[in-house]
Amino acid sequence: MVSTSFKIATLLHDSESQSSVIDQAVVFVYWNLFGNVKEFVVKQKGHCSVSGKQKWVVLVVKVKMVVMRDRFSELELKVVHHILSFLTITELTISGCVSRRCREIYLSTPSLNFVHFSDSNTNSCFSRLRLISSLDRYFLNRVFNQIVSFRFCWEKHYPDEDSDEGSCFCVNEHFRLMTWINNVVRCNVEVMHLEVCSYDENDLKIELVLPHCVFACGSLRSLVVQMSCTVIKSPTTLSSNIRFLELRDVEVEEGFFKWISSSCKYIEELVVQDVQSIENITIQSLSLTSSALVQHYGHLG
């Protein structure tokens, strides 16, 4: 950043002039650079009111260039990433427009918070489509920079009855969201929080399944899933490094908890809340130190 302060050093004009009215000035600028100081010589050609003759009026302006230090860019990258971890993706995108350096950080930050989207970006089918497309481009530009933490909260679109959009086509967006999960897994995510709310079985024509790659991700340590009308099937992977697992408002296959017993050798905490299609839960684990079962509807046998 550069802050410029101007100081008029010399003004030469006809001493007999009562006034120095300059019109149709032709300006020529010359400068010499001496460290942080630039000296500008501005020549203006015009008429003096007394003599009526054309004379040169020379204005010398000294410009002191004060270079402001960019202290944010001077911070260690780990510190910068920690600061940016508190921003939503909208705020992070704005910060990425400041400079080339900020854009590089924006595309490499390891903590992503896809939360708190504004009403202007989510109140219509078309605005939601533009938002999803922009987030698709973000993942494309980001390539495979590591994502340590990914938090994603999304709500169903409730169109205004007076809207001119016609039938809502946002139900199709659910499949676009699943591609983000796949992208995050490929970036070796360690902490994932997925919260997709308010869909019901009347919205979806086919069954939604949480991608199998989530449980096959060797870097994943913590997983929270709250996704209505989504099925969690028994993974085929033989081992998992998950230490914390929370499942809420999802449909879970019976064999999933057997998979936890046999494959999650490092799991320490398990929370199961309002799961569907389960009658019995049996888990055998030497590493499990804390578990919670909460059921607000239905029953478990």
For the chain, domain boundaries: 2-67, 110-294
pLDDT of residue 166: 56
pLDDT of residue 215: 92
DSSP structure class, residue 172: G
Q: What ranges make up the beta strands (E) of the chain?
A: 2-12, 28-34, 37-47, 54-67, 111-114, 149-155, 191-197, 208-209, 222-227, 230-232, 244-248, 251-252, 269-273, 290-294
pLDDT of residue 202: 57
**pTM given for the model:** 0.71
In the predicted model, what is the mean pLDDT of residues 91-120?
A: 91
pLDDT range class, residue 268, cuts 50, 70, 90:
very high
Per-residue pLDDT at 297 exceeds 60:
yes
Q: Which residues pair with 52 in a beta bridge?
A: none
Measured CA to CA, the distance from residue 162 to residue 165 in angstroms comes to 9
Residue bearing tokens 């809207």: 163
Per-residue pLDDT at 20 exceeds 60:
no
CB 57 within 8 A of CB 22: yes
The residue among 4, 12, 3 whose CA lies nearest residue 42 is 12
Range among 51-65, 145-159, 233-247, 271-285 with highest mean pLDDT value: 233-247
Token pair for 124: 């219509």
Q: What is the pLDDT of residues 109-126, one digit of tens each?
A: 999 999 988 888 888 888
Mean of all residue pLDDT scores within the chain: 75
CB 150 within 8 A of CB 192: yes
**Residue 138, amino acid:** Y
Ramachandran category for residue 175: left, alpha or beta (phi over 0 → left; psi -120 to 50 → alpha)? alpha
Token pair for 189: 């995510």
Helices 125-142 and 173-186 pack at an angle, to 10 degrees, of: 20
Number of H helices and E strands in the chain, helices first, is: 9, 14
Burial class of 99 by CB neighbour count within 10 A (0 to 12, 13 to 18, 19+): middle
Residues 6+ apart with CB under 8 A from 264: 240, 242, 245, 285, 287
pLDDT of residue 174: 78
Separation in Å, CA 20 to CA 9, 29, 172: 17, 20, 72
Q: What is the dihedral of CA 87, 89, 91, 97, to 10 degrees?
A: 130
Measured CA to CA, the distance from residue 181 to residue 201 in angstroms comes to 21
